[in-house]
Structure 1
Amino acid sequence: MGRTPWLTIIGLGENGPEGLSSASRVALGEAEVVMGPPRHLALLPGLSAEQIEWPVPFSEGIEILMVLRGRKVVVLASGDPFCFGAGSVIAQGLPADEWRAFPAPSTFSLAASRLGWPLERTTCLGLHAAPVTRLRPHLIPNRRAIVLLRDGKAVTELARYISGEGFGDSRLHILEALDGPRERITSARADAMPSVDFLHPVAVAIEPAGSGKVIPHCSGIADDFFETDGQMTKRPIRALALSALAPRSGELLWDIGGGSGSIAIEWLLSDPETQAISIEPRADRAGRIAENAQRLGVDRLRVAIGSAPEALDGLPRPDAVFIGGGLCKLLLDDLRQRLAPGTRLVAHAVTLESEAFLAEWHQKLGGDLLRVELAHSAPLGTRRAWKAAFPVVQWQVRL
């Protein structure tokens, strides 16, 4: 058998020592140092090992832990440390033979078991260190969600947010200190919360209901989801752009000439593991992009203020690039040198000059060239007629 790792990460429930496995008990008995939040340390009275409270900010605790490297150390975490917990951060960078973990049931598992919900069909989100707006794409009637919150006050904030988005009819189940002596479950409508002081640790199970607008799972969501000054790729053209960009989980997009951020935001809505950087020269539009992203639940969008290609310096290499503004020879020459082979590029042109420019580059590099002409019905006197929009030329290519 190999040597016992110096670091053990133990998941601890609200029932304290009663919920510990035999392996966790052995590790605690052998420990020279036990680190954890004050609440967790208090759940294990009588420890003989040296006790260190995990400091705030969290990163300082990692520094202390690395100083203890080589001693028998136990770190206490909530429930399953690798389910929206600190486990992955603590173990990051350590060889696999230097650490081990003994998880307890996660709060999500405990909540689902109390409510009888199938966990595999329930959205699980950690909002204890994230804005409540991340819930926005998941506010869908008949789609359940369980979220972790930072403290009891956040329950009221969550209910107000859900009601403000038009889902006040939603049923909320507030679950406090699950699996411990303080366990309590309170159910109420989001728009009729009782005057109760909810206590940490707390989770909320949500059954969305109401007349709020649901963000559809498709490319080309309605234009009115976005705040804009008019500089925005409209819904039908946006759908074609996203189809050509073909987002995949884990990929990064550069959205050059962000406008309202609609392309980058829809890229992020396609999968929770996608990333995007919107490059926008105007500060007012950059601010609007960030606001749109926050409101639609994809606050992970990064906004770079500046003009391409200069603003691209220092950015991580993308898997795909969309050019919605600033198209010119200087930019395309720069991208050919800067980007990795195989990067997907999609560019749109509206003017005759930029259309001719794309035709020239299509002849040089190949790819697909598409011209799209759309028309919408509009009043014409007492009747209706087609009102044509400016044609858009789309070029997609692998560099």
Structure 2
Amino acid sequence: MSAHVTVVGLGADGWVSLAEPARALVRSAATLLGGRRHLESVPAVKGQDRVIWPVPLRESLASTLEGRRAPVVALASGDPLLSGIGTTLLDILGAERVTVVPAVSSVALARARMGWPAETTTVISLVGRDTRLLVPALAAGRRLLVLSSDESTPAAVAGLLAEHRWGDSRLVVLGDLGSPTESRVEAVARSWNVTDVPRLNVVAVQVRGTGPGWAAGAVLPDEAFEHTGQITKRDLRASALARLSSAPGQLLWDVGAGSGSIGVEWMRAWPTAHAVAIEPRADRAALVRANAQRHGVPSLEVVQARAPDALRHLRRPDAVFVGGGATTPGVLDGCWAALHTGGRLVVHGVTAETEAVLLERYRRHGGELVRLHVERAEPLGRFTGWSPGRAVSQWSVTKGAS
């Protein structure tokens, strides 16, 4: 079993930023781990083993730590729990085997430089991640602090903002925060042409422009999705999402995903939410992937297979939406059996046969059974009339609820 690990955060100015108690931890370490830059920033200690983080990190970390001489200290940037190695170590070793000694984070320094209180600022990490993760946060007036992967991130952020009609947004790139070489450069997204950007930087974004206003929390219009008609329409989607109740870290199965609109909306609500879209048709599975990319949830998983067989090897969900296929033998039974206690199931049906199935399930498990009718105003000669859509039966239930 690997030893207990103490993670010490360093400021951009390295050793000089550390208080004496943190310095003592580093000096007393028999094994000191970190990136090359971190290890070179602290004084040499006779007899100390110095180990550079392995690549790939997560997959190799446990074996790298195995058998190391104690005490083991790891060096990190700023707050190790802010998109840092501290989070990874906690995931792998558990909280009882990791101690974190943070320094002032780059986020705290960036807020101080910008004069932005914490409660008015949203932090988004793009460290080793897709730039499109910014998309759900884009809304007029928002203040974003973007943790960059490297010197290319500011230009990528500016390009994404311009692409989504937020080109008037103000970008401030804060480089090497807390170091003697700290820098600041400012420009508007649409005219971004800055080339000299430090590798270590945070991008402060004041969102401005005429973008679509598709920030997380708003149910998207139907035209926001690519689809071939197989889509849970906006009003019905809002009703389903209200009952599915997306929550941080929770997993949704979207069975018979079609365009993937339910899974996309679920993940947009919380950055740490997860979703699996189960869709047997290749063309529709491709649409789900495209919509996930477009709306900034690229980690939405797509399983191109048919339920219930596709469900057997998936992680158990916290919520399930069945948009089609409720009459297929084994689908509802598989979903119900997989749900955790307290999990939510929402099923939509438009045929008499599906209604009969939902009525039987409602009698067996309880919950709520409603019929949803939506009518839209459309031209009727010189006047305006109501055009009714197909009625949808919706059964929703919480597993284990009395």
Q: Same fold (TM over 0.5)?
A: yes
* 1:354–1:113 CA distance, 2 compared to 1 (3 A): same
Identity %: 39
* 1:333–1:103 CA distance, 2 compared to 1 (3 A): closer
CA distance in 1, matches of 2:101, 2:197: 29
Give 3-state SS (helix, strand or coil) of 1:186's partner.
Answer: strand
Equivalences for residues 1-399 of structure 1 within 5 A:
7-48=5-46, 49-59=48-58, 62-63=61-62, 65-94=64-93, 98-218=97-217, 220-328=219-327, 330=329, 331-399=331-399
CA distance in 1, matches of 2:192, 2:393: 52
Give 3-state SS (helix, strand or coil) of 1:178's partner.
Answer: coil
CA RMSD of aligned residues (A): 2.1
* 1:286–1:60 CA distance, 2 compared to 1 (3 A): closer
The 8 Å contact of residues 135 and 215 in structure 2, kept in 1 or not, is answered as: no
CA drift at 1:324: 0.4
* 1:68–1:125 CA distance, 2 compared to 1 (3 A): farther
CA distance in 2, matches of 1:219, 1:175: 31
The 8 Å contact of residues 255 and 323 in structure 1, kept in 2 or not, is answered as: yes
Q: Which amino acid aligns with 2:88?
A: V
CA drift at 1:380: 2.2
CA distance in 2, matches of 1:261, 1:223: 12
* 1:248–1:9 CA distance, 2 compared to 1 (3 A): closer
Q: Which amino acid aligns with 1:333?
A: D
Cα deviation code 1:69-106 (max 9, x no counterpart): 34233211111101121102124454656543321111
Gaps of 5+ in 2: none
* 1:352–1:91 CA distance, 2 compared to 1 (3 A): closer
CA distance in 2, matches of 1:337, 1:117: 48
CA distance in 1, matches of 2:361, 2:89: 49
CA drift at 1:293: 1.4
Cα deviation code 1:18-52 (max 9, x no counterpart): 10111121122222232211121232254443322
The 8 Å contact of residues 219 and 238 in structure 1, kept in 2 or not, is answered as: no
* 1:112–1:339 CA distance, 2 compared to 1 (3 A): closer
CA drift at 1:219: 5.7
Cα deviation code 1:105-146 (max 9, x no counterpart): 111011111111112321111101111111111111211010
Q: Which amino acid aligns with 1:185?
A: R
Gaps of 5+ in 1: none
The 8 Å contact of residues 30 and 71 in structure 2, kept in 1 or not, is answered as: yes
CA drift at 1:267: 1.5
CA drift at 1:390: 0.9
* TM-score, normalised relative to structure 2: 0.92
CA drift at 1:363: 3.3
CA distance in 2, matches of 1:54, 1:204: 26
CA drift at 1:367: 2.5
CA distance in 2, matches of 1:134, 1:313: 30
Q: Which amino acid aligns with 2:27?
A: G
* TM-score, normalised relative to structure 1: 0.92
Give 3-state SS (helix, strand or coil) of 1:210's partner.
Answer: coil
CA distance in 2, matches of 1:61, 1:345: 38
* 1:341–1:205 CA distance, 2 compared to 1 (3 A): closer
The 8 Å contact of residues 176 and 201 in structure 2, kept in 1 or not, is answered as: yes
The 8 Å contact of residues 137 and 214 in structure 1, kept in 2 or not, is answered as: no
CA drift at 1:351: 2.0
Cα deviation code 1:151-188 (max 9, x no counterpart): 11222111111111111100001011111122111011
* 1:341–1:302 CA distance, 2 compared to 1 (3 A): same
CA drift at 1:233: 0.5
